Amino acid sequence: MTSLFDLTGKVALITGGSRGLGLEIALAFADAGADVIVASRKIENCETAAQRISAMGRRGLALAVHAGKWNEIERLVEQSYSHFNRLDILVNNAGMSPAMPSHQVSEDLFDKVIGLNFKGPFRLAALVAERMAAAEGGSIINISSGASWKPMPEVVPYAGAKAALNAMTISLAQEYAPKVRVNAIAAGPFLTDISKAWSEEQRSRSPNAAGRPGRPEEIVTSALYLASPASSYVSGTIVRCDGGLRG
């Protein structure tokens, strides 16, 4: 059964891949045999992650990108294909979720949240899907959130962007089928860097069936499943990885 999760010979691109959930996914993909492109705004962090991947015997590439700006996204795609000549897996993981009362959200902040969580992922997924469909196919994984379906105060722009990401996932799965599979992971609360700002209560307990936030490594199996041949008949699906988050 382990062969189902074998990514040997595959090339994966992960935005926001230098820390948190993105880094865990990058390292898991490398451990499964994939070469991995780590992209985020801070190139130093990407280089550190790429070095860890190289130390595992895989090819790691660090690329700087603002995942909400289309001109930088287009350059990222060109650089990725120029270096590896292919992409088999794309993980749209970069995002931001500032919490504040809705009446205090500025137009600039609204645009930044929508840009990074929906506008950018749309452009990147569309460009990569087109190339995948013209080649051997591939898998695109969009990292969504429980906020996309569960009412949560003070994160309305973020929740709206993630709901749009879910709709995009289903639509692109139809548009670029059958060679390209597009799915999303609706992540619940995870103990990543953002959780450092949480209270001790929030870090130890969550309103889900598990009763706690997730550990970053607990998203790995969902990502491996959607990236690998194990999910060859799964597309246009939103997989919840949230410990049983209650509505």
Active-site residue identified among 144, 148, 228, 235? 144
The answer to whether residue 144 is catalytic is yes
10, 97, 145, 158: which is the annotated catalytic residue? 158
What's the rounded Cα separation, in Å, for the pair 30 and 61? 12
SS (H, E, C) the chain: CHHHHCCCCCEEEEECCCCHHHHHHHHHHHHCCCEEEEEECCHHHHHHHHHHHHHCCCCEEEEECCCCCHHHHHHHHHHHHHHHCCCCEEEECCCCCCCCCHHHCCHHHHHHHHHHHHHHHHHHHHHHHHHHHHCCCEEEEEEEEHHHCCCCCCCHHHHHHHHHHHHHHHHHHHHCCCCEEEEEEEECCECCHHHHHCCHHHHHCCCECCCCCECHHHHHHHHHHHHCHHHCCCCCCEEEECCCECC
Known active-site residue 204: no
Catalytic residue among 119, 145, 162, 231: 162
Nearest to 8 by CA among 31, 37, 39: 31
Looking from the CA of 168 toward its CB, the CA atoms found within 13 Å total: 26
Catalytic residues: 144, 158, 162
